[in-house]
Every structure is written in structure tokens, then in C-alpha cells.
Chain A
Amino acid sequence: MKLITALIFLITISSCTTVREYQKININDPDMVLSAQKIEKYETTFQTYREAAAGANGGKTGGGCGCN
């Protein structure tokens, strides 16, 4: 939890810098997307079946299938 708190703090204080639209060419690269990619959908599904933990990745958190 300390690590999480430290990272939240780090991200918050780093937000002082504003990156302009014309400077976002690297940020807008398809591989930089901040969510699970569509092709990971079925990997996430089997992990939800085979592991107790789920969620916090923008996808399913449980329910909607016979899994946890």
C-alpha cells in the first residue's frame, strides 16, 4: 500500500507539466494506450476463471460468467 500511495503522490505532483496537443505524438502511439488492448480480452477472461483476483484493469471484475 505504501508503494501505491507513493505512486499516486508521484503522479499527482508530476501533473504540473502540461503536454500540449502538438507534443502528444509519442503519447498517441497505439502501444501507449492506458487500458488493456482488445486482443487481451480472452486472456483476461481465462485469468478471471483460473485466478481469484479480477478487476482493476478496465475490464471485468467478476460476475457475468460462471467464474468467481
Chain B
Amino acid sequence: MVKRINLIIVLALFWVSNLIAQETSYQKKVLESTEVDILMSYYAQDGIHSSVAGGEGTEELTDYTSSIVISMPINNNDVLTIDVGISAYTSASSSNINPFDRSGASKGENEEEDEDEEEDDKRALVKGVDNGLASPWYASSGASESDVLVHGSANYSHSSEDRNTIVSGNIGFSTEYDYFSIGVGGSFTKLFNEKNTEISLRAQAYFDTWKSIYPTELDTYLLEGGLDADFFQGVTITGNPNYSPTNFAINSDEQRNSYSFSASFSQILTKSIQGSLFFDLVMQDGLLSTPYHRIYFADRPDSYIEDFQLADDNENLPDTRFKLPIGMRLNFYLNEMFVIRSYYRYYYDDWGITAHTASMELPIKIGSKFTAAPLYRFYTQTASDYFAPKETHLSSDEYYTSDYDLSEFDANQYGLSLKYTDIFTKAKIWKFGLKNVELRYNHYQRSNDLDADIVTLGIKFVN
């Protein structure tokens, strides 16, 4: 009898312990808690090759951007990420889509002066003296001087129970005055070899729509009766007074579609080294030119209103483009203080451009909470088959652009990132703890006289 009772007690204890074990063994979530990332950036550039002014003119531009990215665990296996943001820019170059607002010539109404100071001696020499007249070297004050871009996207990812398979889908949009875009995509990721190897496939498509705006003298001439249009009344056209941009036509297609197929392969090489390879195959079709980029032909006489040369045409580029970038990363954990992050990319496209990008970042851990990371990036590209400087293309050419973003150049970028991390998230705002704060600055210098600076502040909270 006692033996039977003992047996029952042992069995009962085994059952209870098994039950407790079942209740307490839970699957670790893919994402343990909600994460909120706030990003803010300030970007400023200046240069002398405005594509709006046909390759010669100010490229001064500033941009303020902020966005919030919220990642939420939906259940143990699923994560929803929402990303919304807004970007506001002012661009001296874009303002010169209608350069005559500034002086009041050609029915302009706004006579607000641009009061920006000259900082670069070379540019000051090129620009000459600001006499308040229309000029490619000074901002106009029309509607195209500034714009706001709003973007939003949602990504949903599902991980398998063993965390070796991840499937995700995304949808997004962005909108600004003359451009609207919708994007959809999906990815499939497989991990194996005890999560030492990862292969990922991704497909993405963007369906974009231009609301074309053109250099003001071109569409006015074409749509409002040539030189009889009100726009040309009461102003003096110097140089060639018989201005006649006969090449110009309104775009019949305002769609731009982009399709990309990507594959990546990641591998842990040792306990302290891992690397990855990326392959993208990108196809674009539709309106790939920018409608407000001016062109000045070598075989057409030059006409001016005030100090601004009237365009012979706008940019004309092929309606298809094929791109093939191949990239790789190799990261080394040297010791508790130093990590090396390296990156290289080769790029080819069928517009005649090949490019190489190499960058290196050296995160240095200072104590348990601070990281400083100096970084350097080098970029070089060949010119597109369709690029030529101002007054070089012929009006008989099939395709032409004077956009220096498609010219041959090298670029150097130097930067520093400072990061504070508190894994215990002691500092709280409402229900969220501060996980890290990162401030990152980069100076960018192109060999064809364009300089830029960007400062980004990132703050991460976790619930």
C-alpha cells in the first residue's frame, strides 16, 4: 500500500513538473518589444553645375528630413514595421525652372531677394555680382524654389518557428509636387548551417508618375504661340532675338517604372569575421529624363533674357535603363575595442556608366556605453554615353544631358559617428526606454566642384 502511494506521488510529481516545464518553456519572440527609431537629418550642398541651368549655375540646396520607424511584434513570429517621414528642401537650382520670378521680368510677381552669402571664392568668381537680374548663379523665388516630400511604408515579416525561414512583404509611397511613387515588394530568406549561412531573395517594384514641369521659356514658347506669348512681351531678348527652341516637345509618357531583383549571400567565416555578397538586377522604363533639365546645343544661336540663357531644349534620355550593381561587405571584430566594417560595390549600366564604391568604418568602443566611428568612402564613375557639358551636344543628337550627376567624377566622403548606448534603458520617456542615441556627420566632396555636408541624429527607444 505504501509503495503504491509512493508510486502515485512520484507519478504526480512527474506530471506536475512536466506541466510546469511545458508552461514555462516558451518560444523567444523574433522581436521582444516595440522599438521606435527617430531619425533627423540636415543636408546642405553647393556646386557650380546646375542641371536645371544646362550644366552651369548654382547647385545650392538644403534639406531637412525627419522620420519615425516603429517596429512592433505582432506575435512570437511576426513583426510589423511602419516608416513615415517628411522632407522639406529649398533648391536654388530648382528655383530656376522659372528664373524670371526674381527680377520681375516676363510677368514674374515675387521680387524677394536671395540674401545668401558667398562663401567659396571660386564660386564667387564664377557667379559674378548679384545685380538682381535673372541668372543661373542665383536663386529665383518661384514655387519650384522649395518642396516637401512625404513618404510612408509598411513591412510585415514572418519567421518560421525554427527561425530559419523569413518571409516579408512591403508596400510604400512617396509624394512631392511633381512626383508620386508607389512601391511594393517581398523577400524570402533562408538560414542554414546552424545560422552560419543566409541566402535572401528580394523583388521590388516602383510605379512612379511625373507631373512634368518644364523650363518656363520652353513650355511657354510651345503652348502659348511662340514669341507672341505674353511671357515674351515687354522683355528684351539679347543675343539671338529670334529665339526658337524647335527640338522641344511635351512628354507623352509620364510614368517611370523600376523593377529590381536582388539576391544576397551571407556567411559567418570565423567567430570574429563575417561577410556578404549582394547582387541586384534593375530594370527601368518610362520617363527617365528629368523634364526641367535644360540643354544648350552647340549648333544653335544663344538667346538671353537678362543674364539667363534661354534653353534650346530639355534633357532627353532613353526610356529604358538596365543596371547591375554587385556589392560585398566584410566585417571584422578585432577585439573588445575595435571593429572594422568594410564595403565594396561594382556598378554597371547600359547608359555607359561603370562605378566603383569602397568604404571603411572603424567603430571604436569607449567604455561600455560609447562608440566613436570614423569612416571614409571613395566613389568613382565614368560618364554616361549621353552626357556632355553645356554647348557641346548637337541638336541632331538622339539623346543628350548636361546633368553632372551623370558625368565622370570621383568623390571622397569623410565622416564621424558618435553613439551612446544604454542596454538597460534607464532613461524613460513615457513607457519607452532610451536604448541609444547616435550623431553622425559626413562631408562629401566631388571632383567636379560639388561639396555637401550631412548631419544625422538617430534616437532609439524600446518599450
A15 to chain B: which residues have CB within 8 Å? 193, 196-197, 267, 269
B446 to chain A: which residues have CB within 8 Å? 50
Contact, CB under 8 Å: A19 / B196? yes
B353 to chain A: which residues have CB within 8 Å? 52-53
A61 to chain B: which residues have CB within 8 Å? 204, 258, 260, 262, 280, 282, 323, 325
Contact, CB under 8 Å: A42 / B272? no
Measured CB to CB, the nearest residue on chain A to B328 is A7
A15 to B191, CA, bound (A): 13
What are 13 residue pairs bridging A and B, where the CB atoms are less than 8 Å apart in the complex?
A: A4-B328, A7-B328, A11-B275, A14-B267, A18-B194, A32-B274, A32-B333, A34-B274, A46-B454, A56-B345, A61-B262, A62-B284, A64-B183
A52 to B357, CA, bound (A): 11
A21 to B347, CA, bound (A): 35
Contact, CB under 8 Å: B346 / A64? no
The interface stretch among B134-142, B173-181, B236-244 is B173-181
Contact, CB under 8 Å: B345 / A52? no
A14 to chain B: which residues have CB within 8 Å? 267, 269-270
As a 0/1 sequence over residues 258 to 278 of chain B, the CB contacts with chain A under 8 angstroms (1 = contact) are 101010111111111011111
A14 to B267, CA, bound (A): 9
Size of the chain A interface, CB-CB below 8 angstroms: 49
B260 to chain A: which residues have CB within 8 Å? 55, 61-63
A33 to chain B: which residues have CB within 8 Å? 331
Task: Among B194, B267, B282, B333, point to the contact of A29 (Cβ < 8 A).
Answer: B333
B341 close to A (CB within 8 Å): yes
Contact, CB under 8 Å: B196 / A32? no
A52 to B348, CA, bound (A): 10
Task: Among B43, B193, B197, B406, point to the contact of A52 (Cβ < 8 A).
Answer: B406
CB proximity of B191 to chain A, nearest CB, Å: 12
B438 to chain A: which residues have CB within 8 Å? 39
Contact, CB under 8 Å: A34 / B325? no
Measured CB to CB, the nearest residue on chain A to B352 is A52
Contact, CB under 8 Å: B327 / A57? yes
A35 to B280, CA, bound (A): 15
Contact, CB under 8 Å: A63 / B181? yes
Contact, CB under 8 Å: B196 / A56? no
Contact, CB under 8 Å: A64 / B331? no
Contact, CB under 8 Å: B69 / A38? yes
B355 close to A (CB within 8 Å): yes
With most chain B CB atoms within 10 A of its CB, the pick from A12, A18, A51 is: A51
Contact, CB under 8 Å: A50 / B450? yes
* Given contact pairs A32-B333, A52-B405, A55-B280, A43 touches B179 in the complex (Cβ within 8 A): no
Q: Which chain A residues in 12-51 approach chain B with CB under 8 Å? A: 12, 14-15, 17-21, 23-24, 26-27, 29-35, 38-43, 46-47, 49-51
B197 to chain A: which residues have CB within 8 Å? 15
B65 close to A (CB within 8 Å): yes
* Given contact pairs A62-B282, A64-B181, A42 touches B345 in the complex (Cβ within 8 A): no
A47 to chain B: which residues have CB within 8 Å? 379
Task: Among B45, B267, B284, B371, point to the contact of A11 (Cβ < 8 A).
Answer: B267
A12 to B265, CA, bound (A): 10
A40 to B339, CA, bound (A): 17
* Given contact pairs A42-B456, A66-B176, A53 touches B345 in the complex (Cβ within 8 A): yes
With most chain B CB atoms within 10 A of its CB, the pick from A34, A50, A58 is: A34
B60 close to A (CB within 8 Å): no
Contact, CB under 8 Å: B323 / A62? yes
